[in-house]
């Protein structure tokens, strides 16, 4: 079995925003997309996906619309709103800054101190 | 939070279930596609998804539904609780419905009369101007035509200035004429109030002289009713006072000038002499209306008017006399001025229903407190099990608000019925009150008030609940002293408020009784009165035609079967008219600082004195043999003022503010009793002079007939008799004199009835409150009573103990109530007629009634206390 990593707190929202920023997705689609783009490396708890989606919708970062899915069944599709796009940009930049800083800190060699 | 949100909530649930099911189905399908066996696939999908209930709960919370759900739960809990105690709930609802409904009904009147702006654009800029001569005994004399012509365009603070005068006009073809309330207005009147005609045009400056003034504007109602809303009506001819007029326009539906009943509007035409400086002080019941320029204030207008008056009066030889009479032109807000007479009584009634509501609320607080005491143990257990203080507090708030909202809705129904009751009591005859209605605005105020009451009710209950459950008694011993003290304080305040209300109603009742007991100065029984106006075209000025028809009218009326005496007067008492004129007694010297006085004057014909039933004090009445002699009859006030120590009969007087040539003098032939002209409570000794009609041939006058049969049955005969003399003359406003007098008491009688109703309800509520609290105390203290009885206490002792408490509360309530009644009596003083603000008899009566009500309320609980069976109570 492949090794998976638990999500850091607060990162699920960011990943969902990223997933729906590429194309409108239903909840299950978000799950598949996250598995796919993380190359199955991240463990997405299925149960906490929906509360996160509803929270983001309530915060008007994503919007939802009912449409028919691949096999003609009705499904709720999520898209990124303008506010969501802005939030994603901010969070991505913030994440990049932090991970760069942490990486730099962790890669520090004794002679650099 | 309405049905909309409830509906959204259901939609949310359905969509969430569908979305989650979709997820599970897709995942299961994917597992099946990977070759997992069906039973295993379904199991794994569910397992990996986690607890569906938890997920759904988290989703609801994430979407912000938890507050809504919580409230809904508490509401349904509260409804369950309320339904479990129908006695309490129905008492509370009835209390709220009556108290809120009463407030609503009175508020509807206040809203229509005082609060709602007049239906004109920027109505706050409209003012009225009237002349006052306070030291001559004339507080208000309208404005004169001269004032209008001198002022218009001259006062910078006004953007426009106009005049309005009520009039009645004969409309229609001979034999089918009808008299309609009308108004004469200056050309800029409609522009001043800000109304444009629905069709046609308003009046022009050229139409303010006779002969060119034969044009008319119809009100919307008149156009609908008499022209079937004919769109071609403009330009059509119309017969007015027997002359050919032309309809030039129709006014919009929303247009009513104050409380005017005018159906037709005519231009105010006049001759140049009527506009001159000699007529500056001839008020003529003209209402002057002006619009303040944007930014201009009433104070500016007032000072400009004062300055303008000073300039124009410079050429007036009587200026000094006018100044001595205290002459001034007052600029007042049009709206405030129109309702000034009813504002105090309306505010008093609102204060009364406000007190009633307060009593109702205190009653509810007490009932709720009693209920909360009963639930102390339950709440203590719930708090021990983890219910938060906030949770308990919102629960109380939700319960009281629900209760008051339901009460508010019922109150709306009571209020709507109350408005109908007010109309039956004549409220719609008050200025502007015809517009009162139960509308959205009033309902909104009601529901907002209900929510406010609910929140206000919640606080003491929350305080008590949280406090009580902190140190909840584990076993039912004696009730917490603080809670009992609070309940007693509420009962005392309730008694105080009820006492104040009862005393107020008592004072109004005394005042009404005093007013009703006043003799009008004549014998009104069996007297029929009706109005008649002679059209100018057929009966001009002091023409022989006019004098002839008046004389023939007097003769014809007395010949009618059933008529004892008949006559004519232009200034009928209790008709709303109070025509005054300056009269100068020959040889009378004004003392320094004394002003010429205005006196009532009456132009009479036929046997007016006999018809109205005056009492002759000395001398004689006019007779047919007097011919053209200049004679007059005065009343005792007039005689007392000018000839206090000599015989007034044979003395002479002049019409006007100065003595003129001897041939103009009128000789006094008789002195009659004093008559109440405006109302029974008008005690000003104004003085009155009666002149033969031929010297003051007014076109508008009243027919007065003393009947030997019931006056109503005479009405038709009177109308026929007049039509027989001139087919064009309808008699209007036909009413027995007695009815006029009764109607004049409307603003005293109806408020008194309402106050009596309010205080009866207040007394009932107080009795219910006292009963509730006392019987609760008895229930709470059953064990204590039982122990004492087991130790040998007599039933009488127990009974007396509870009655003592009641007496103690009553003593406090009565004492505080007496102080409150004294204070409120002082506030009411101006509304009372010959009743002191501290009226011992009334207060004593109120105290007696309060005592009786309280004792009745206490008897049952104290009797029950004395019947507690020790063995049963202790075995519980």
For residues B149-166, give the mean pLDDT.
95
Question: Which chain B residues contact residue A46 at CB under 8 A?
Answer: 23, 27, 48-50
Residue A12 resides in a domain: yes
Task: Tell me, yes or no, whether A111 lies in a domain.
Answer: no
Question: What pLDDT does B876 receive?
Answer: 62
- CATH classification at residue A45: 1.10.10.10
- Report H helices in B781-839: 782-790, 795-828
- B821 C-beta neighbours (distance < 10 Å), count: 28
Burial (CB count within 10 angstroms: exposed 0-12, middle 13-18, buried 19+), residue B191: middle
Six-digit token string for B779: 């229930």
DSSP string, B116-183: SPPSSTTGGGEEEEEEEBGGGTBS---B-HHHHHHHTTT-TTEEEEEEEEEEEEEESSTTS-EEEEEE
Of A26, A31, A51, the CB nearest to B59: A51
Q: How far apart are CA B169 and CA B243, in angstroms?
A: 11
Average pLDDT on A20-27 reads 89
A41 in a structural domain:
yes
Give the per-residue pLDDT at B324. Answer: 86
- Label residue B803 exposed, middle or buried (CB < 10 Å: 0-12, 13-18, 19+): buried
Predicted local distance difference test score (pLDDT) of residue B611: 95
Within a domain: residue A93? yes
Decide if pLDDT at B87 tops 70.
yes
Residues on chain B touching A62 (C-beta within 8 angstroms): none
pLDDT tens-digit profile of B584-629? 999 888 888 788 888 999 999 999 999 999 999 999 999 988 888 9
Strand (E) or helix (H) holding B380: helix B376-384
Question: What span, in angstroms and rounded, lies between the C-alpha atoms of B220 and B56?
Answer: 63
- Sort out which chain B residues have CB atoms less than 8 A from A52's CB and list them: 62
Q: What is the pLDDT of residue B263?
A: 95
Q: Average the pLDDT over B667-679 and give the result.
A: 93
| Mutation target vs B (from A54, A60, A70, A73; most B CBs, 10 A cutoff) | A54
Q: Is B94 exposed, middle or buried (0-12, 13-18, 19+ CB in 10 A)?
A: middle
Cα–Cα nearest to B867, from B804, B786, B761: B786
Residue A100 within any structural domain of the chain: yes
Is the CB of residue A67 less than 8 Å away from at least one CB of chain B?
Answer: no
Residue A113 within a domain:
no
Total count of residues recorded for chain B = 876
B656 pLDDT tier (thresholds 50, 70, 90): confident
Cα(B287)–Cα(B730) distance, integer angstroms: 27
Distance CA B664, CA B433 (A): 47
Q: Is residue A112 part of a domain?
A: no
Q: Which residues of A touch B61 (CB under 8 A)?
A: 51
Q: Do the Cβ atoms of A28 and B55 come within 8 Å? A: no
Q: How many domains does chain A have?
A: 1
> Where does the pLDDT of residue B858 fall: very low under 50, low under 70, confident under 90, or very high at 90 and above?
confident
Q: What is the pLDDT of residues B236-258, one digit of tens each?
A: 999 998 889 999 999 999 999 99
pLDDT tens figures, B511-562: 999 999 999 999 999 999 999 989 888 898 888 999 999 999 999 999 999 9
pLDDT (tens digit per residue) in A25-83: 998 889 888 888 887 777 777 888 898 899 999 999 999 999 888 778 888 999 999 99
Query: What pLDDT shows up at residue B471?
Result: 59
Residues 6 or more apart in contact with residue B330 via CB below 8 angstroms = B129, B130, B131, B132, B302
Identify from B23, B27, B44, B65 which residue to disrupt to test chain A contact, counting A C-beta atoms within 10 A and taking the largest count.
B23
pLDDT digits (tens, 9 = 90+) for B178-214: 889 999 999 999 999 999 999 999 999 999 998 888 9
CA distance B112 to B839: 34
Residue pLDDT, tens place only, B331-390? 999 999 999 988 999 999 999 999 999 999 988 888 888 888 777 777 778 777 877 888
**Strand, helix or coil at B739?**
helix
Q: Give the pLDDT mean for B695-703.
A: 93
Burial B128-148 (b: 16+ CB within 10 A, else e): bbbbbbebbbbeebbbbbbbb
pTM: 0.78
pLDDT of residue B1: 46
A-B contacts at Cβ under 8 angstroms: 55
- Mean confidence (pLDDT) of chain B: 89
Supply the range of the domain harboring residue A102: 4-106
Residue located via tokens 């009947």: B707
- Is the CB of A73 less than 8 angstroms away from the CB of B48? no
Contact B252, B195 (CB under 8 A): yes
């Amino acid at each position: 079995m492949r090794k998976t990593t638990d999500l850091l707190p607060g990162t699920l929202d960011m990943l969902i925003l990223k997933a729906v920023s590429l194309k409108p997705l239903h909840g299950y689609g978000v799950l598949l997309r996250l598995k796919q783009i993380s190359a199955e490396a991240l463990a997405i708890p299925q149960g906490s996906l929906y509360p996160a989606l509803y929270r983001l919708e309530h915060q008007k970062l994503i919007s939802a619309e009912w449409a028919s899915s691949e096999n003609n069944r009705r499904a709720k599709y999520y898209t990124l709103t303008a506010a969501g796009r802005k939030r994603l940009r901010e969070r991505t930049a913030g994440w990049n800054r932090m991970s760069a800083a942490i990486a730099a800190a962790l890669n520090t060699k004794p002679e650099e101190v | 939070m309405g049905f909309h949100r409830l509906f959204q909530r259901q939609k949310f649930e359905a969509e969430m279930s569908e979305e989650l099911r979709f997820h599970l189905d897709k995942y299961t399908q994917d597992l099946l596609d990977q070759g997992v066996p069906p039973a295993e696939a379904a199991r794994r999908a569910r397992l990996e998804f986690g607890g569906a209930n938890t997920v759904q709960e988290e989703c609801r919370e994430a979407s912000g539904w938890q507050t809504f759900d919580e409230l809904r739960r508490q509401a349904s809990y509260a409804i369950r609780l309320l339904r479990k105690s129908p006695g309490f709930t129905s008492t509370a609802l009835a209390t709220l419905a009556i108290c809120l409904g009463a407030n609503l009904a009175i508020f509807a009147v206040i809203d229509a009369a005082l609060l709602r702006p007049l239906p004109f654009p920027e109505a706050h800029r409209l003012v009225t101007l009237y002349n006052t001569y306070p030291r001559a005994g004339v507080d208000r004399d309208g404005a004169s035509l001269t004032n209008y012509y001198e002022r218009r365009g001259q006062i910078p603070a006004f953007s426009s200035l106009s005049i309005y005068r009520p009039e009645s006009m004969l409309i229609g073809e001979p034999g089918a004429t009808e008299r309609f309330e009308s108004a004469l207005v200056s050309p800029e009147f409609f522009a001043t109030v800000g109304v444009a005609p629905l069709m046609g045009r308003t009046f022009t400056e050229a139409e303010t002289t006779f002969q060119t003034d034969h044009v008319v504007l119809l009100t919307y109602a008149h156009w609908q009713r008499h022209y079937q809303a004919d769109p071609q009506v403009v330009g059509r001819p119309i017969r007015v006072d027997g002359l050919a007029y032309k309809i030039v326009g129709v006014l919009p539906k929303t247009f009513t000038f104050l409380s005017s009943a005018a159906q037709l509007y005519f231009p105010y035409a006049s001759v140049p002499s009527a506009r001159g400086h000699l007529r500056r002080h001839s008020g003529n019941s003209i209402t002057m209306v002006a619009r303040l320029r944007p930014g201009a204030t009433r104070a500016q207008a007032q000072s400009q008017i004062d300055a303008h008056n000073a300039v124009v009066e410079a050429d007036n030889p009587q200026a000094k006399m006018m100044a001595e009479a205290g002459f001034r032109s007052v600029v007042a807000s049009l709206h405030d001025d129109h309702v000034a007479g009813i504002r105090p009584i309306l505010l008093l009634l609102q204060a009364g229903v406000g007190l009633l509501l307060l009593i109702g609320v205190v009653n509810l607080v007490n009932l709720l407190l009693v209920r909360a005491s009963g639930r102390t143990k339950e709440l203590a257990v719930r708090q021990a099990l983890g219910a938060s203080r906030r949770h308990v507090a919102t629960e109380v708030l939700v319960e009281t608000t629900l209760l008051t909202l339901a009460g508010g809705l019922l109150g709306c129904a009571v209020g709507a019925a109350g408005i109908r009751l007010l109309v039956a009591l004549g409220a719609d005859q008050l200025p502007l009150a015809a517009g009162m209605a139960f509308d959205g605005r009033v309902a909104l105020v009601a529901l907002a008030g209900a929510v406010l009451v609910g929140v206000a009710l919640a606080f003491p209950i929350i305080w008590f609940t949280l406090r009580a459950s902190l140190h909840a008694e584990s076993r039912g011993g004696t009730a917490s002293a603080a809670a009992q003290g609070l309940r007693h304080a509420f009962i005392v305040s309730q008694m105080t408020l009820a006492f104040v209300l009862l005393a107020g109603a008592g004072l109004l009742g005394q005042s009404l009784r005093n007013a009703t007991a006043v003799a009008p100065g004549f014998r009104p029984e069996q007297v029929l009165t009706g109005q008649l106006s002679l059209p100018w075209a057929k009966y001009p000025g002091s023409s022989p035609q006019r004098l002839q028809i008046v004389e023939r009218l007097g003769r014809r009326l007395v010949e009618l079967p059933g008529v004892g005496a008949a006559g004519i007067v232009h200034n009928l008492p209790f008709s709303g008219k109070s025509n005054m004129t300056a009269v100068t007694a020959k040889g009378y010297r004004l003392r320094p600082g004394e002003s010429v006085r205005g006196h009532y004057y009456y132009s009479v014909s036929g046997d007016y004195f006999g018809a109205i039933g005056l009492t002759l004090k000395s001398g004689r009445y006019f007779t047919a043999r007097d011919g053209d002699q200049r004679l007059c009859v005065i009343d005792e006030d007039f005689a007392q003022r000018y000839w206090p120590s000599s015989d007034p009969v044979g003395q002479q007087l002049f019409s006007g503010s100065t003595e003129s040539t001897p041939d103009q003098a009128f000789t006094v032939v008789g002195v009659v009793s004093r008559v109440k002209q405006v109302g029974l409570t008008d005690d000003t000794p104004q003085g009155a002079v009666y002149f033969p009609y031929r010297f003051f041939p007014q076109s508008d006058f009243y027919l007065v007939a003393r009947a030997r049969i019931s006056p109503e049955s005479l009405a038709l005969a009177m109308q026929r008799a007049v039509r027989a003399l001139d087919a064009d003359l309808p008699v209007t406003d036909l009413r027995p004199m007695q009815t006029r007098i009764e109607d004049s008491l409307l603003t005293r009688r109806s408020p008194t009835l309402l106050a009596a109703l309010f205080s009866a309800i207040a007394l009932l509520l107080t009795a219910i409150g006292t009963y509730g609290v006392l019987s609760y105390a008895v229930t709470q203290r059953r064990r204590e009573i039982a122990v004492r009885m087991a130790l040998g206490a007599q039933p009488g002792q127990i009974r007396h103990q509870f009655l003592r408490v009641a007496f103690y509360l009553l003593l406090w309530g009565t004492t505080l109530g007496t102080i409150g009644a004294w204070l409120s009596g002082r506030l009411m003083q101006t509304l009372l007629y010959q009743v002191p603000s501290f009226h011992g008899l009334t207060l004593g009566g109120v105290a007696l009634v309060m005592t009786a009500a309280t004792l009745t309320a206490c008897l049952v609980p104290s009797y029950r206390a004395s019947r507690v069976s020790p063995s049963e109570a202790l075995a519980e």
